[in-house]
Structure 1
């Protein structure tokens, strides 16, 4: 016999019956019920259940007395945004449809603008020229306090291609805030900068991005012949932000967002027109509709763009490495009256060296109409000067 064998008859004779098991359960239940009936009144008199009830009531009271708290976050940035945000509006360029059989007007583009003046029933908005360029009409979208907006027609008072600025006039109904201009000449690299505008259109109206002033002053080429001074910032500026506000922590507009460098692998290169440079342009656009500028009446060509063989024909000394070649001189212009000739090479204006045509125009446009400037130039390899009395250039 193995160790795991057993006697089946023995276990069958010893197994209790099912009836005995049921009877045992009934007896146990009766005894348990009697014990409960006897001891519950005793425990109640001792205060056991009262104590538990009081603990439950206290816990319930503590839960009902709990409060929901909220944290109010205020900072220089939020205060600055609240101060100027309502003055930043949307600008819509409305043009004609490309369909030759349709007379419908279509939205050609959107941008941003800044309400900077309010007089009785009129308000003035500054924006970028490229936002309204080629328009048939212009609309301004004014934000309202109930998260809605109001679209009004705008009149173009004036624009300037060179500085990329335009001034619009709208009805002042619904205008609640007017932006305050700051001092862009006092900016420092590293101070906070806040960009407010409508990136990608009205669905993201009054978006706020924050960064720093990367450089208070950069000179960049905006066209092949013109350069301009701008504020560089790393605050995100996207299509639709053009014409919006660049704001300091005091809630003052220090720049008008204008452009960004959008190349693969390039981030954080946004630019704004300094407000100190923009203000005199804005005043001229309000009063005259354009910006009167002095001109010479010449066609220019950068010396650095010329072939070495052409340098030899000009007979320039080796010390001259930069300058501007005069290709032609228009008749009856300030340059012609001063004796300036074709093939002259300008190297300085009022003693300020000019390396290319962009620098020459930048310096020239800062002069007053009717003032005199002295050109330092080379003619047939010889250094000479010419004094030009500046006249107002044609608007074109």
Structure 2
């Protein structure tokens, strides 16, 4: 995997023999295509930084046989449609055309909405469709292609909203509820399933980065992109983003964990971008390097000259096994761990060097 491809350079959006990872705990679902869930295609200015304060927790405590129905009743008013419009010119006249559509989740009473970045990518105008059929123009606060998240703002107050839960507390087998607008025409569609797995390593098409995802069997279809995956507490545990679409494959969808969403939303509100830390290394899963599936850790293929990693003493061939106290068994866990920190932070990396444990301290830079 290509991890911060070139020091102080934007990441490539291509793939290589090192970068190509598909869905699976160790990159292991082979032959299946991972599709953006956007109707119509498979694929702007940023608001000034504002003070960020998380919305009050909005959690239900529901038990019993009708728990899912009660959660849905509470959650649906906070789920919106999002449509991407582009300007085209015909005969000297500007024509506004729909490029695609998806879903979104209101996460604050004052109109902040989280959705997928690919839903609003390259939009000239963004429209939000509220459950009461009202249509509003949305401002793009910021977007982050690497996590496939975007933050929108509409001019409304006292809206119903959903809180972002703690995705580290998710249990495999617990109920998961997906709400969105599949195929655009079936607004407020609800599907119920379970969390099939957590911390799935997923690398999406045209991206050399990977993060961990929640896997669910709740039915997710085109147009669900950006909609919430909700638990029985009425909290967002993930933002629906992708599914595996292949012959004979059913019920394998992926959602961006809510803790990743929290960090990205915070940065987009405060800075208009994600202040992403940079090590300056190229990595791959140790299992890819050794061809032994049980080998855990992240193998350092290359240390970029002049990078924080080089300054800290990290070497090619080192195997990263921890960031501070968090174990990293594969590349996506390394990305996740680093996203908890900011440029300028000093972190300790536990590594194996020729099989011998070592501790490396690195001061993170910002990826430009």
TM-score by length of 2: 0.69
2:86 paired residue among 91, 95, 100: 95
The match for 2:367 is 394
The match for 1:129 is 117
Q: What number of residue pairs does the alignment pair up?
A: 298
Mapped contact 2:323–2:347 kept (Cα < 8 A): no
1:151 paired residue among 132, 135, 140: 135
- CA separation of 1:101/1:210 partners in 2, compared to 1, >3 Å: closer, same or farther? same
Mapped contact 1:338–1:386 kept (Cα < 8 A): no
User: For 1:86 and 1:130, how far apart are their aligned partners in 2?
Assistant: 23
The answer to which structure, 1 or 2, has the higher relative contact order (CA under 8 A, 6+ apart) is: 2
The match for 2:106 is 115
Mapped contact 1:323–1:354 kept (Cα < 8 A): yes
Q: Which is worse superposed, 360-369 or 243-252?
A: 360-369
The match for 2:351 is 376
1:198 partnered with 2:170: no
Alpha-carbon offset, residue 96 of structure 1: 4.0
User: For 1:350 and 1:254, how far apart are their aligned partners in 2?
Assistant: 24
Query: What is the CA deviation profile of residues 152-186 of structure 1, one whole-angstrom value per residue up to 9, with x for unaligned ones?
Result: 2111112222322211011117x742223444444
Match of 1:264, SS state, is coil
User: For 1:97 and 1:304, how far apart are their aligned partners in 2?
Assistant: 48
- CA separation of 1:139/1:359 partners in 2, compared to 1, >3 Å: closer, same or farther? same
Match of 1:171, SS state, is coil
The match for 1:236 is 219
User: For 1:306 and 1:213, how far apart are their aligned partners in 2?
Assistant: 30
Mapped contact 1:155–1:170 kept (Cα < 8 A): yes
Aligned residue runs from structure 1 range 215-234, under 5 A: 215=197, 217-223=198-204, 225-234=208-217
Gaps of 5+ in 2: 1-64
User: For 1:272 and 1:153, how far apart are their aligned partners in 2?
Assistant: 26
Mapped contact 1:301–1:327 kept (Cα < 8 A): no
User: For 1:304 and 1:98, how far apart are their aligned partners in 2?
Assistant: 51
Mapped contact 1:300–1:357 kept (Cα < 8 A): yes
Larger Rg, first or second structure (1 or 2): 1
- CA separation of 1:323/1:353 partners in 2, compared to 1, >3 Å: closer, same or farther? same
2:77 paired residue among 86, 100, 116: 86
User: For 1:229 and 1:384, how far apart are their aligned partners in 2?
Assistant: 26
Mapped contact 1:115–1:126 kept (Cα < 8 A): yes
The match for 1:365 is 339
Alpha-carbon offset, residue 349 of structure 1: 4.1
Aligned residue runs from structure 1 range 303-314, under 5 A: none
Gaps of 5+ in 1: 1-73, 309-319
User: For 1:154 and 1:275, how far apart are their aligned partners in 2?
Assistant: 22
Query: What is the CA deviation profile of residues 48-73 of structure 1, one whole-angstrom value per residue up to 9, with x for unaligned ones?
Result: xxxxxxxxxxxxxxxxxxxxxxxxxx
Mapped contact 1:157–1:285 kept (Cα < 8 A): yes
